[in-house]
Amino acid sequence: MTRVRILGVAAVAAVLAVTGSSVAQQGSGDPALERSAQLAVAPAPAAGSPIGAEAARSAAAGIARTIPLPPGGTFDGIRWEEAGGVFTADEIALVLQYNATCQWLRAWRDGRNTPATARVLADVPSWPLWRGGDGAAAIAGVVGDVRAGGGADARAMLADCDAAHQREVAYATAKGLTPTR
């Protein structure tokens, strides 16, 4: 994450007003839209008990059920086991949200635009990860670029996302897990 820095998790109504949100889309029948809408209004995750790296994948699986992914998306390539140390549930949730943001951006860029893609990307700035601080401004620029069909902020984040994706595919494949698309 070279250009995008995550510094806060305070509610930012201005970002929602600028980017738009599909919170009203709950009940649409599309699980990705419903998860995104729920995440958009979810409180910031609470820290909770420390979770060792060896148990992080299992803990992440539970949290991942609340985070939307584009078709073919998985979290299997996140290298929890190699990270060492301990995580908290809020740290795991934030890593998953960043990873999901990257997957939706890559889906948009690669032309894998489902009807949900633009709507989920419009919600991303309201996800707990991106609320407040420099994170809110950075993701607002990225989403603005998406709406405009591309731009420097989206390209910079996608470069980080592409590098992470290559590592994740190699890791998931080596572990016998399903790599994300």
Residue written as tokens 């250009």? Answer: 3
Coil/strand/helix, residue 44: coil
- Nearest Cα to Cα of residue 51 among 80, 79, 24: 80
pTM of the shown model: 0.81
What is the number of other CB atoms lying within 10 angstroms of the CB of residue 166? 11
| pLDDT per position as a tens digit, 70-114 | 999 999 999 999 988 899 999 999 999 999 999 999 999 999 877
